[in-house]
Amino acid sequence: MKEKEWNHGEISELCRSLSLLLHAGIGLGDGLFLMAEEADGERKALLEEMGRKSDLGVVLSQAMEESERFPVYVTGMVKVGESTGRLEEALLALAGYYDGQEKMNRQIKSALTYPSILMLMMITVIGVLLVKVLPVFDEVYASLGGSLTGVAGGLLMLGQMLEAAMPLICMLLAVIAVGLLMFAKNSDFRKKVLDWWRKKYGDKGISRMINDAHFAQALAMGLKSGLPIEEAVQLAGDLLKEVPGAAARCSECANGLMCGENIADVLKKTNVLPASACRMLELGIRGGSGDTVMDEIANRLSEEAGYAIEQKVAQVEPAMVMTASVLVGFILLSVMLPLMNIMTAIG
């Protein structure tokens, strides 16, 4: 059974510590053993195992892959760093990236917790209104010689249907709760769900922006290290192999480069990077600073992806609150207005 992957905070701490140890001139194996002394439990055992493999000549990326505790992006970026002789820089970049991801996760959790609780309360209130309160109003109308009609009558029928279907609704909610629990606790189930999502929707919208940023970051590292452009593109494309659409674009780009096409032109033609980024890279290459420009492009794409996520999260809370408020207000008005008309007629 596959072990649970490390979370963003743990990955960031590992990468930053290893980067600092390498910068201090400490060997990779010794560094892993030093980190193991400060760890405990399964984490200590894993670091010691990775340290032993490193002493036997196994590269860090392979040790990470064999542990099955790290995302593809981590092992891919480490592999790029090893191939380019910039492992320290790759680890530091990963530490910064996962620091940002950890911060983003906290923001998302904070932004969604309150509106989710509020939405649950609103749904409960709406359910009570439909199932318990509307029948009382119907009895009041009946005592006055009338009955709920129009929208209110339709809502009353909906409430009766919900009351009749309550056992089925409870079963459905139980299934959803079990599914969410399995997703949170079972790494194999979570991986299957995420793999399916990546294949279907992992190259659209914000996910596409994140893919572009990952590719650009790896490509920038390859260019700064003096790798042949074809090899740099191939290494960068390996990071996206779990996303079929992105992997196909990268493969097409690599084939174009092998045929002698210009890097900026083929990136634009294959739509691997946004058109504006391709224009910037082309100007940078003409000026002899393609690697520096590519690094700036990677930073800009990463910032844009992070900003897009923040904007999307910021839209969730007001949308949920507004939806729930409108539904409750609509139900109350549909009942109270006819009742006010009857009371006015009686008066």
The pTM assigned to this predicted structure is 0.63
Q: What pLDDT, on the 0 to 100 scale, is given for residue 1?
A: 42
Question: What mean pLDDT is predicted for residues 281-299?
Answer: 83
Residues 147, 152, 158, 164, CA torsion sign: negative
The amino acid at 271: N
Tell me the pLDDT tens digit for each residue of 144-188: 666 656 655 666 566 567 666 666 766 776 677 677 667 656 656
Whether the per-residue pLDDT at 200 is higher than 90: the answer is no
Residues 86-94, mean pLDDT to the nearest whole number: 84
What token pair was written down for 336?
């109270």
**Which of 160, 163, 154 shows the shortest CA–CA distance to 335?**
154
Least confident span in 130-134, 217-221, 267-271, 305-309:
130-134
CA distances from 187 to 1, 5, 96, 248, 288 (A): 9, 8, 25, 27, 46
Beta carbons within 8 Å of 301's beta carbon, 6+ residues apart: 209, 212, 213, 216, 273, 274, 277
Alpha-carbon gap, residue 129 to 335, rounded angstroms: 10
- 345 by Cβ neighbours in 10 Å (0-12 / 13-18 / 19+) ranks as exposed
What pLDDT digit, counting tens, does each position of 28-68 carry?
Answer: 899 999 998 888 888 889 999 999 999 898 999 999 988 88
Section 222-235 average pLDDT: 73
